[in-house]
A and B are shown apart, each in its own frame.
Chain A
Amino acid sequence: MSASQAAKSLLALSQQEELEDLPKDYSLSTSEDEGDSDGERKHQKLLEAISSLDGKNRQKLTERSEASLKVSEFNVSSEGSGEKLVLSDLLEPIKTSSSVAAVKKQLNRVKSKKTVELPLHREEIERIHREVAFNKTSQVLSKWDPIVLKNRQAEQLVFPLSKPQSAFAPIEHMLSGWKARTPLEQEIFNLLHKNKQPVTDPLLTPVEKASLKAMSLEEAKMRRAELQRARALQSYYEARARREKKIKSKKYHKVLKKGKAKQALKEFEKLRKVNPAAALEELEKLEKARMMERMSLKHQNSGKWAKSKAIMAKYDLEARQAMQEQLARNKELTQKIQRASESEEEEGGAKEEGEPLVPDVVNEVQVKVNGPNPWMFRNHSSDAREAEVQEGPEEGAEPAGHEASESEEEGPGAEEDMLLKEFEERRSLRQKSGLNGPVGSPETKDSSSQEVLSELRALAQRLNKENRRSGRQEVSAARKGTVLQVQREEPAEEEEEPLLLQRPERAQTLDELEELGREGCLQNEELPRAAVEGQQLETNPNNHLGATPKEKKRKEQMIDLQNLLTTKSPSVKSLAVPTTVEELEDEEERDQRQMIKEAFAGDDVIRDFLKEKREAVEASKPKDVDLTLPGWGEWGGVGLKPSAKKRRRFLIKTPEGPPRKDKNLPNVIISEQRNIHAAAHQVRVLPYPFTHHQQFERTIQTPIGSTWNTQRAFQKLTMPKVVTKPGHIIKPIKAEDVGYRSSSRSDLSVVQRNPKRLSIRHKKQLKQNSVH
């Protein structure tokens, strides 16, 4: 009893206290007091005496008694081991002495004090501790309840729960931990270290840094600036070279080459003045090149390409130009450098030589191409063209005003103009921005626009000529305007066609739609009436005409059955009634029957059953399929029905099934709806989580496939319950993951807090174990 009480009090106590306090009171209970041994012994004896009073301590302490004590007649003996010596008894004889009063008081005080209870048994104490600890632990664990519940019920769990934080470690950190171990690695490491190769991407290499250190601050700054500038320049040149390398224009490269050649010539001139010997060598080289050129037919007009160009030259300005250039190159290469005056003559000669091969047109233009740089010339021409193009629409508007037919074309024409202008602007921009002219823009354009452009160009050239020759600008402008318009017409027409094709169509459709809408309304208004009538008509005739004889027959049958019933039932009753019947009883029975009849006057059970059976039979009979379409292949409408012949033809009669099992059983309906084949696939027992069959049926009926659901719904419906990422480690759930504060104290620190106590306890346990 007392033990359990103590346990309870202990429980209460410990629950209030902290975890760490537990050991303390434990140690209290088990600690051994070390005091004065004498007093200790006395106290022990006292306690024993007191505890022996309540008789609980059954275990008798075997006292060691000496023989002399018992036997001797000179000493006071306790007279038998059974009797107990009480302190007060000893004091009693000395009543008189006053000095004893103090002792008595003390004794009384001791008496009034309650005795200390026996310390609990070790196992008992351990049990209590375990219980306390278990309660505490269950409390700690119960904080996980809501999370566990949530996770169990979750529609989808995505693992790993916490996202791994991507950590960026600089490469130095990674390398610092690494050490070369094998000789090969060490060798490589040494090599790398010798060069002081920067590991990352610093601004300066160690060598540069060292040199910087050697210099003064200003010097260093200057040097750094220089370095930076050099780097910037380098990068600039690199970028430029890259850009130039990308240019695809052949013309540009030609011009570039020409420019280089000129540069070389200039240098040569310089060289001649400064260093004649070197110049002579250069000259020889040039001479050799000239010889080679003269020997070869490379730049003559006899090549395949040149011939084809010659044919084209009549029509194509570019071809013409190409030919010109080739001739010029030939001239250049073949001319002798030394005699400048003669070269001009030879040039003329070369022209004369080239004339028979080259068509007239080429020569015409050649005059202009002769200018400083064909590249530059082209620029001029394009500018001129631009100016013209800008003038174009203003002038083009006048004739447009005259002619009504042309007004339609104005839109597309203007568009074309705008396009052209844009194109030209872009080209000019590119020319200005880059050092290097158009980047093959004509090639990118389609052929038709190119043609237009070339013609425009020719025109512009011609105009330029005329402008130069005469001051009659207005006339030329007018002419050009008309030409421009003529040119414009083609694309305009081309563009118009699709427009014509499209626009009206749209308009038509829209119009039609509107009309359709209106008509639809009307039709809708009309339809119901007609349709309903039609349907009625369709149904009615069948009902009226087709069904009347059958119905009559059926009615007859019903009547027969009724007759049967009415006739049969009394006969059955009469059979049931015993033949020898007393009249009185008969009367009573008759009364009863009368009463029952009156009570159940309304319901005729047998007739109801028969009706039900008839319905069941009808329902189970396979129906004929009528495929007639009214109005198909003949006149249709209100009051008309498909002909009998047609109906006969399109009526598919289903074969009669096997005879019903209840055919010969008048009082039974055997349902034949159960399909054995289907039953194999059907669920027989309602599965566990469902409580009603409807619930289950509904879940089975609702589809989850994408065929019947929208994409979003499909994804939602087919969401997997657990998602794991391949190759990702899933760690156990943590308190931090779910928003709980994890305990700040580590388990280790808690354990190590009382290592001594534990070890002492452990030793004790071991000792006791060994004793046992």
Chain B
Amino acid sequence: MKVKMLSRNPDNYVRETKLDLQRVPRNYDPALHPFEPREYVRALNATKLERVFAKPFLASLDGHRDGVNCLAKHPKSLATVLSGACDGEVRIWNLTKRKCIRTIQAHEGFVRGICTRFCGTSFFTVGDDKTVKQWKMDGPSYGEDEEPLHTILGKTVYTGIDHHWKEAIFATCGQQVDIWDEQRTNPICSMTWGFDSISSVKFNPIETFLLGSCASDRNIVLYDMRQATPLKKVILDMRTNTIGWNPMEAFIFTAANEDYNLYTFDMRALDTPIMVHMDHVSAVLDVDYSPTGKEFVSASFDKSIRIFPVDKSRSREVYHTKRMQHVICVKWTSDSKYIMCGSDEMNIRLWKANASEKLGVLTSREKAATDYNQRLKEKFQHHPHIKRISRHRHLPKSIYSQIQEQRIMKEARRRKELNRIKHSKPGSVRIVSEKKKHIVAVVK
């Protein structure tokens, strides 16, 4: 009698070498494995975990004796940050130690602007005392006094400063936009358009001869340094506080406006902003792009900072703490991992750019897991439960009630607009899109 036995071919399950991966027999038939529900549950869990681990606040750097008015990044060192306060004090911080490493009494009155030289050897400050000062980045050596390298005495107050990205040129703004050679005491070029004071000037990081400025008379003016002429001016509903250039897209910049919104423009077509970013409930005071050019962070008078994707009109994240007052300046670090903000109550705060990200070195398995979770969240982002969980943020009462209030106002306005259209002759009432609504004029 023949006895049949179960037999397997070892070739099917034995590895050829030790280094080969273990072969796991698996049936890939989708009918046997309904993927959808399982992945959905995974996505749901991933979203929940993300919210559980969202602890963005890292540190608070205190030491200033007045509100922090301006911040600057070091171009070569990630750990170094410079800050200027309203009492004319400039401090240099070490982020890894979370300590102040140097203090300079730079100006009398406010430090209005601070910027570092592209090489990181020195930095410039402008203050209310009508001076531009250049300082060495390293502290004074043994036996030396803390003195600026150069001091330029101006006739008017300078309200902002920015350094060229490649050359020894910097630009200041006040009554006009001045372009300075570092070696000279007079500006090599001055540009004006209109007579109101200019609050901020920024060099384009890619096409470095371009500048953008914003003035108190509600306009944003673009300049060409090489042709020594302004290019175009756009007038908005309300005053723009500052602008930020996209470091990856030469012609894109974002303007932080007093009307609670941010406007992203293509500088070639200023009549319509590409995107209106609205979530703040008070004036937006500062904006800074992530070095990847995909997102930017904005600081607002409503005591919060928000992170917006460039192509989305709503913010993806809002950071606030109980003690943080009006946020005046904000910076995104050059490794795109952290955000710093300086606020009224004399502190500089360090946040994670990605609230739930694990810091430090990840193992390959951890990395794969995070990537997978991220992808799952993206895939199922439209599902109601997941959307609700991922969007949920706790907000301070003031902001929350403000949002409610503004929602009501907006709804009322919309209703009125609809009624007006309904009750007037068709075609007589022009429908203006949200993007165009805030642009008053474009001046050539």
Binding site for B on A (CB under 8 A): 19, 22, 126-127, 129-131, 133-134, 136-138, 140-142, 144, 148, 151, 157, 159, 181-182, 509, 512-513, 516, 680-684, 687, 699-708, 711, 714-715, 717-720, 722, 724-735, 746-748, 750-752, 754-755, 758, 762, 765, 769
Contact = CB atoms under 8 A, between A and B. Distances in A.
Interface string B347-382: 000000000000001000000100110111001101
A514 B250 CA distance: 70
A732 B244 CA distance: 13
User: Considering the complex of A and B, which 7 residue pairs feature the smallest CB-CB distances, nearest first?
Assistant: A703-B35, A730-B291, A732-B205, A732-B247, A687-B382, A750-B226, A718-B371
Interface of B: 5, 7, 9, 21, 28, 30, 33, 35-36, 38-40, 42, 75-76, 78, 141-143, 164-169, 179, 181, 188-190, 192, 195, 205-210, 222, 224-232, 247-252, 267-268, 291-294, 334-337, 361, 368, 371-372, 374-376, 379-380, 382-385, 444
A138 B142 CA distance: 51
Contacts of A732: 165, 205-206, 247-248, 291
A181 B143 CA distance: 9
A733 B247 contact: yes
Given A141-B251, A708-B35, A732-B291, A718 B372 contact: yes
Contacts of A681: 40, 383-385
B35 A758 contact: no
A257 B252 CA distance: 86
B384 A730 contact: no
Contacts of A181: 141-143
Contact of A730 (B169, B335, B385): B335
Counting chain B CB atoms within 10 Å of each CB, the highest count among A126, A130, A140, A733 belongs to A130
B188 A708 contact: no
Contacts of B222: 134
Contacts, number: 200
A137 B319 CA distance: 38
> Chain B: interface secondary structure?
loop
B335 A719 contact: no
Contacts of A733: 206, 247-248, 250, 293
Among A127, A680, A731: residue with most chain B CB under 10 A = A731
B369 to A, nearest CB: 9
B189 A758 contact: yes
Given A181-B142, A687-B382, A708 B208 contact: no
A724 B336 contact: yes
Contacts of B168: 748
Contact of B39 (A129, A704, A719): A704
Contacts of A717: 375
A577 to B, nearest CB: 48
B196 to A, nearest CB: 13
B207 A746 contact: no
A747 B383 contact: no
A62 B171 CA distance: 47
A765 B230 CA distance: 14
Given A133-B231, A724-B292, A746 B167 contact: yes
Given A151-B293, A735-B206, A751-B169, 4 more contacts: A137-B207, A141-B267, A702-B35, A750-B226
Nearest to B334: A729
Contact of A747 (B75, B164, B195, B252): B164
Contacts of B30: 701, 708
Contacts of A516: 7
Contacts of B192: 765
Contacts of A133: 224, 227, 229, 231
Contact of A701 (B35, B228, B368): B35
A729 B39 contact: no
A138 B268 contact: yes
A737 B33 CA distance: 46
Nearest to A735: B206
A144 B39 CA distance: 40
Nearest to A683: B382
B289 to A, nearest CB: 9
A150 to B, nearest CB: 11
Given A683-B382, A729-B78, A746-B167, A137 B231 contact: yes
B385 A700 contact: no
A726 B385 CA distance: 33
Given A141-B250, A509-B7, A724-B335, A159 B291 contact: yes
A754 B372 CA distance: 58
A726 B337 CA distance: 8
Contacts of A720: 371, 374-375
B380 A700 contact: yes
